[in-house]
Each structure stands twice: as C-alpha cells, then as structure tokens.
Structure 1
Amino acid sequence: MHSHLLPGVDDGVTSPEETLACLHQLAAWGIQRVITTPHVSQDWYPNTQDALLKGQVMLQALVNEHQIPLTIDVAAEYLLDDLFLNLLRADQLSSFGQQKYVLFETGWAAAPVFLNEIIFHLRAQGYQPLLAHPERYTYYHNDLKPLAELRKAGCLFQLNWGSMTGRYGRRVQAQAHKFLTNTWVDFMGSDIHRPTDLNLFDQLVSSADYHLLKQQPLRNQELLLKK
C-alpha cells in the first residue's frame, strides 16, 4: 500500500509501461494485492473520486491483459487542505480495507493545526486515520510527544521503505529507527513513484533495522481479505 502507479495523475509514473514495470516486480516478490494511492490536493492534484475509480478499472484491465497475478485497488493520499476538509464533510473520501483506512499527509513546512480534531472527525465518520510517512516530517524530529498524542487519539502510522535505507537522509533514517523501537509502525509502504524506486527493496531487507521491522504490529497482511 501507498504507491503512485496510476499514470499521469500526479508526480508518480508517467506511462502504462512504467506502471507495468513496477507491477511485474511487485508480483515477482510475491505481493498479491496493490493499493495504489494517488495524491489528492487542491492546488496540485485535485483528483476526483470518479477519476480514481476509473483508474482502478484501467489498472486491473492492464494486469489482466498481461496476466500479472495481482488485484488492484485505488485509494488516495490526501493532503490536509480545504479540498480534504470539503470531502470529509461530504463523506466522499476514498478509503481502503475493511477498516476504511484513509491515508493522509501533512505539509512539509510546519506542523498542522487542529490535527487532533481532524482525526476525531475521521473516526466519528467511520474512517481509520493513517498518517503517511510521519518519520519524514522534520518538525517532529526533535519531539516525539505530538506523535505519541496522535497515536493516543487513534491515528495509525505508515513507514516508507526508503526511510530505513537512508533514501531521505540520515535524520529521517534515525527517526524511522525511533518509530521501529517504539513499535509505532502499523503499515509498511513503498511510496513507489517510478521503477527506479524498486531498487530500495534489496536495501530494505539488508538494512540494520530489518529485524525491528519484523517485530512491528503490521496490518499489511489483513488487506488480503476481501472487502
């Protein structure tokens, strides 16, 4: 879960050929179900739910045509902006899994305000909040208390493969180690944007913290269950 494999809708893959390269490799690793999550944001990628559903049909037809043993779902990675709040109020968020997980990210410049209130409203409407790659937000690097409060409020965390390999720098790698030590990783995600990102997998399984990853309460496996 958490990838950008719908061609041309965000900063992920740009062609069906790139999508196929990624899907072939994921299937070769034994992955059976892919939940790809295009960006949804007001200013950059205002993708609609209808467009994402059409994308799911297109991707499933693509894997069927090429006989790749995968099931494809399309959800979203939402930026917390006015578009997200409008979709939340209208109960039109794209979720995945039986728990109705909603994957969201925050801005990079500063910690979001009213995040606990947003988590409350998500849960009140039957969604399970899931924060994308919290180890990458620099405003949390020197203080884990806000993250602990988010978990207490019912927010789950998703870690990126690349964070454990140094892809985003040493500080992010160190923060990922803290998450693993605290067993705060609920989902592991690739955050694949292009075929070259696949090279990180070998680095992941050989990383010093891989043994910690195996101790996490990961929920990825439950996504194999039918809706």
Structure 2
Amino acid sequence: MITPLRDLRAVLAPGPEHRHGPLQPMLLVLTVVTGVVDAFSYLVLGNVFVANMTGNVVFTAFSLAGATAFSLRSSLVSLLAFAAGAVLGGRIGNRFPDHRARLLLGATVLETALVLVAYVCSETLADPFTGTGRDLLIVLLALAMGAQNAAARRLAVPDFTTTVLTQTLTGLASDSPLAGEADGRFVRRALAVAGMFAGALAGGLIALHASRTLPLLIAGLLLAATATAASARVRSTDIWTRPV
C-alpha cells in the first residue's frame, strides 16, 4: 500500500528535484479540461470532437460511407482547426525551447483565451449551436485543443498527452501485474485515465442537466488556473524546467 501512495504523491505533489516536477499535476488538469470540452462538443455541438481527432477521422469515414448521424463538414472543420492549433502550439514550443514552464504558460494562455472566447460566443450568438455559430465554436475549441496537444507533446511528460489515452490504456494493461510486469507508472497512467473520465462525466452532467454553455466556462477557469500556476514558475531553474 505504501508504494501506490508514494507514487500518488510523486505525481500530485512532486518536489522540485523531480524530473517533471509540477508539470505532472498541471497536465493532469489539462487532461480534465479535455474531457470537459469534448463532452461539450459531442453532446452540444452534435457528434463531433474537438480534441479526440481519432474520432473525427472515423466520423469523416462514416459520413462518406453514407451515415447521416455525423456531419462531414463539422468533422473536417475540427480536423483542420486542430491541425492549425498544433502549428500554433509548435511555434510556442520553438519560442521557448529551453524552459518548459514558459512553454506551458504560452500554450495555456492561448488556450484560455480561445476557450473563453468560445464561451462568450456561445452565450451571445443568436444561434450558437447550428450553422455558422457551430462552426465558429468548433474552430475556436479545436484550435485550443491542437495547441494543448502540441505543447504536451513538446513537454514530453510520459503518459500525460492530455488528449489521447489509447497508449496510456495500453500501458496500464500491458505493464500491469496481470501481464507479468510491475511497472511503477501505473498510478500516473491511472490518474490520466481518471482525469479524462472525470472531466467528461462532469462536462456531460452539466451540459445535459444544468447549462449547455457552463462546461466552457469551467474549462476556461481550469485553464486560467493552470496558466497562473505556470506563470509563478517562469523564473525557476529547477531540473524539471529543462527540456527532456
């Protein structure tokens, strides 16, 4: 029992000497944000993801095959906007190649602005969930998620990609005691999965039973908190700020 608790503390409250330091809890928050935002996009905007691009590739294929439950236009808009966001995230990574806290701050500031603009649009547009309004929300949110994914990739904290869980789930199972392994990364992987699940559950419950737009405000506030945490560390010279 001691080892899992120690591993849990190492992820949620790591010391400055840890190789990835506070990047781990901050990326866990971004994983929760992904769940919240994708819950909004799928349940409110209608069968489209803004973070899970695997789903959009499959939805595009379904649409071309004649399935009417999915929008080819929305899937393609999301894919293109996500790619554009990844370009922006890559440029931020190239702007701060030697300090991971500054990289994360740049990405989360951009992402916070995009998500909060999407929230304002969802509250002020006459018809935000269909037609042009829907396309605008997809573009804003997919841009944000693309930038987040690119930043997480550059930060290179194992198992915290923030938007993709397939490899994390594979590692969780294939490196488990049931498979004959004793991988010390079990807790980190389990937290990544739990974070995405918790975000999607909360976003789904709020969108379906309380307010369709509130998930975006919550996501924006979580991102703002992450940006604030990163900003407090931009002058740090601890080992975790150095590129991997």
TM-score of the aligned structures, taking structure 2 as reference length: 0.28
Larger radius of gyration: 2
Q: Which has the higher contact order (CA 8 A, sep 6+)?
A: 2
Q: Which has the higher strand share?
A: 1
TM-score (structure 1 length as normaliser): 0.29
